[in-house]
Amino acid sequence: MPKSKRQTRDLRPALIFLNGDLLAVPIPLERAEVILGRALETDVRINDIGVSRRHASINAVADRANETTDYVLTDLDSRSGTFVNGIKITKEILQNGDKITIGKHILRFEILDEIDREYHRQIRRLLSHDDLTGLLSSRSFFSELRREAERANREKRQFCVLMMDVDYFKSVNDTYGHLTGSKTLEEIGSCITQSLRSGDAAARFGGEEFAAFLLNAEPAQGIVAAERIRSSIERNKFSVIRQGKPTEVHHITISIGVAVFPGDSKDPIELIEMADSALYQAKREGRNRVAVYTDLDAAEIQKTLPPRLD
C-alpha cells in the first residue's frame, strides 16, 4: 500500500521552550539519546539553579516492526523531579504536544514538519530581534552575552563589550519628525552591523541606545571596532523623510564605551555597567568619541552615577 501524503512528510521531533531565555527555540532531537540539564556538556542546557546537572534524558526507541519511533523521557534522579503535563514521572513515552517541566522551564514535545520548523524559526526571530533595526533585542543580547562569557571563561579568551548612545537624538525627532527618527535608528543599526565582524553580536537596547560584544577581541581590537562604528556613523548621510519619502539628508554622531572580559570583569551584567560608565564619560568629554573603562579613574567613575546626558 502506498504511503499517504501525511506519511511522506519530513517529520522530525523537537523540544520547544515555552519560557525562559530560549523562548520559542525549537531544539531538534537528532540523537539516539539527548541529555537535558544544567551542566555545560549536556545536549540541551537549561540555565536554572533548580535543574540538576544531568536532569533527564530523551531516548529514541525504534519499533522496526511498525516502522515507528517512540521518544522516552527518563528522569535521571534529579533533585526537583521531571514533570509531564503536571505529573511527576520516572519514565514516560512522550506524545505530540506533551509539556515537560524541568525546574522553572517548560518545554513542549512536538513532531514538526518543514512548514512547522520554518514557522518556529520566524517566531523566534520576531521574539529575539528588534523589528526596527533587525538587531538583537536586549533580552536576547543578555542571553547571548551570558553564553559567550561562559565559553570565554572556559577557553581562557578575551572579548569586548560596547555600549553606544546616539548624541542629541531628541533633536532629530524635534527637527525632522518621528518618521525620520525611526529611519535614522534603522540606518544606525545598519552602520553598526556593517562595522562588525561575522560572529560579533549587536543589539538595540531601546530608544537610541545600542550594544555589541566582539568575539576573541583584545582591548586594542575593541577600541578599533568602536572607532570604526563611531566614524561610520559620523560620515553617514542619514535620510530625512518628507511626505513618506527621503528628500534630503542629515548627520548625527554616537558616543561609545568599551569594557573587556575578563580584565574588567567576568560578570556579564557588570561588564555592561562598566561599558555604560565609559559611555557616560565619553558623553562628558564632548560626545562623538570612544572611552574605555580601564582608562577611568575612581573620580571619573563616580561621575557616571547620575542619569546620563542626551
3-state secondary structure of 87: strand
- Residue 69 C-alpha cell reads as 519511533
Catalytic residue among 33, 186, 208, 234: 208
Rounded to an integer, what distance in angstroms lies between the CA atom of residue 101 and that of residue 36?
Answer: 11
Active site residue 208: yes
Torsion angle in degrees (nearest 10) through CA of 113, 119, 125, 126: -160
- Residue 139 C-alpha cell reads as 533580552
Rounded to an integer, what distance in angstroms lies between the CA atom of residue 88 and that of residue 80?
Answer: 10
Q: Which residues contact 291 (CB under 8 A, 6 or more apart)?
A: 255, 256, 257, 258, 278, 279, 281, 282, 285
The letter for the amino acid at 17 is F
Rounded to an integer, what distance in angstroms lies between the CA atom of residue 186 and that of residue 257?
Answer: 21
292-308: string of b/e by CB count within 10 Å (b at 16+)? bbeebeeebeeebeeee
- Following DSSP, what letter does each residue of 60-75 receive, concatenated? EEEETTTTEEEEEEEE
Are 172 and 181 spatial neighbours (Cβ–Cβ below 8 Å)? yes
Closest CA relative to residue 50, chosen from 22, 83, 25, 23:
83
- Residue 166 C-alpha cell reads as 546616539
Longest dimension (CA), the chain: 81
Closest CA relative to residue 195, chosen from 157, 236, 155:
236
Residues designated catalytic: 208
